[in-house]
Amino acid sequence: MRLFEPINIHGMELENRIIFPAVVSRLASEDGYVTEALKERVLRIATGGVGLIVLEAAGIMDRKSGTLLKIFDDRFIPGLQELAAEVHQKSKAKLGIQLVHFLKLSRSGYRQTVEELSQDDIKQVVEDFGAAALRVKKAGFDSLEVHCAHAYTLSSFLSLRNKRKDEYGRNLEGRTKIVKEVLAKVKAAVGEDFPVGCRLNGDEFILGGNTLQQSRQIADKLARWGIHYLSVSAGGKFEDGQVFEGIAWPYSGYSGTRTMPTKNMPDGVNVYLAEEIRKIVAPYGIPVATAGKIPTPEFAEAILEASRADLIALGRPLICDPDWPNKAKNFRWNEIVYCKYCGCCTDNDRNFEPVVCSQWPQGSLNAPADFAPRRKKES
């Protein structure tokens, strides 16, 4: 199967084409440190046969954000280092991490926008990405991913909805300028040999937002600026999100259902975005990951077979059954517990509760060791 063909991403050798994309677990501590529970979650997934884990979004700046992982200071390095060492010791999976910058949100309903940032604020964002990238390398990770998708700062700069009037807005050059600077800073920090990827929206799925028309052009620039892989996502915007207890939630509108396709949506609903972007970046030798309701090994295999993507990102399916890759590899497909896309894990995330699966025994923080589909009782 193509799914189990190795792939080399700028020196990072993956055993197979399956990646666990960044998925916030809400298992980090309130201060943003790695906890035992987070470590167990990551190890459970790593030992299930996945090729690459992109550790959940880690905040590069000091901002209150509940149980989100953080990496804005050297004091976060030891916890991350321990995690990376254990993943390497106990599995063949490679470990990356997603770096995120987000703007201020408050319960009063206030949401900071990119138009409000001064040029000094922008310089700080760039500096913070560089410093965080160096910490990733020091912690012994295999790669890092710059979060340029969904509701967060870099994505908001890239968006056609960015209405800045200075050189960080106005046109494509302006809207991409901060990302160009971030990538230069990150690459200077980690060195040319270290694999650096980006997550990018293929389409924002909001009125007046980026579509493939813009994301193709952005992808071409990212390739020229030397990224080593591109993970294509979609939507997840504040602009059409609802407000819960005063806080806007970017995954509650239609755009959010494109990030985490719901059960009433077709399988692989976003694959065409990766396929189109792949046509742009393949000539540069940059592999592309696709995500979004890719339920089964057959479905994943067909995507690779048709050269629509190079990597298959399985978020909810690997939360549900981390052994999905090992079972698929051994053709034990009927032993996989398939994700029902029921919305349980996304609700947990929104409610700041540990992200768990509705199919696990109640109270569990991980899939059981011998997790198997429930057999129907014989009558």
Ligand X SMILES: Cc1cc2nc3c(=O)[nH]c(=O)nc-3n(C[C@H](O)[C@H](O)[C@H](O)COP(=O)(O)O)c2cc1C
Angle at alpha carbon of residue 104, lines to 212 and 169, rounded to 5°: 40
Least distance CB 283 / ligand X (angstroms): 25
Phi, psi of 2 (to 5 degrees): -60, -35
Distance CA 205, CA 250 (A): 12
Largest CA distance in the chain: 71
Residue 252 binds ligand X (CB under 6 A): no
- Tokens coding 294: 């890719």
Residue 346 binds ligand X (CB under 6 A): yes
From 33, 110, 152, 168, active-site residue: 152
Q: How many residues bind ligand X (CB under 6 A)?
A: 27
- Report yes or no: 96 and 143 within 8 Å, Cβ to Cβ: yes
Instruction: Pick the stretch among 20-28, 104-112, 216-224, 299-307 that binds ligand X (CB under 6 A).
Output: 20-28
Least distance CB 319 / ligand X (angstroms): 7
Residue 349 binds ligand X (CB under 6 A): yes
Question: Which residue, 201 or 214, is less far from ligand X as judged by CB?
Answer: 201
x/- string (CB under 6 A) for ligand X, residues 66-105? --------------------------------x-------
Does 152 participate in catalysis according to the annotation? Answer: yes
Residue 186 binds ligand X (CB under 6 A): no
* Interface with ligand X (CB under 6 A), residue from 45, 99, 146, 149: 149
Question: Which residue, 142 or 321, is less far from ligand X as judged by CB?
Answer: 321
* Residue 323 exposed, middle or buried by CB count within 10 Å (0-12, 13-18, 19+): buried
Residue 58 binds ligand X (CB under 6 A): no
Least distance CB 80 / ligand X (angstroms): 15
SS3 61: coil
Residue 258 binds ligand X (CB under 6 A): no
- Report yes or no: 231 and 197 within 8 Å, Cβ to Cβ: yes
Length of the chain: 379
Least distance CB 74 / ligand X (angstroms): 22
Written as one string, the DSSP assignment of 220-280 is: HHHHHTT-SEEEEE----STT-EEETTEEETTSSHHHHHHS--TTSPTTTTHHHHHHHHHH
- Tokens coding 34: 């790695």
* Interface with ligand X (CB under 6 A), residue from 304, 355, 356, 367: 355
Residue 204 binds ligand X (CB under 6 A): no
Count CB-CB contacts under 10 A for residue 245: 7
The interface with ligand X within residues 264-323 (CB under 6 A) comprises 291-294, 313-317
Would you please indicate which residues are annotated as catalytic (active-site) residues?
A: 152
Contact positions toward ligand X, by CB under 6 A?
21-24, 56-57, 98, 147, 149, 199, 233, 259-261, 291-294, 313-317, 345-346, 349, 355
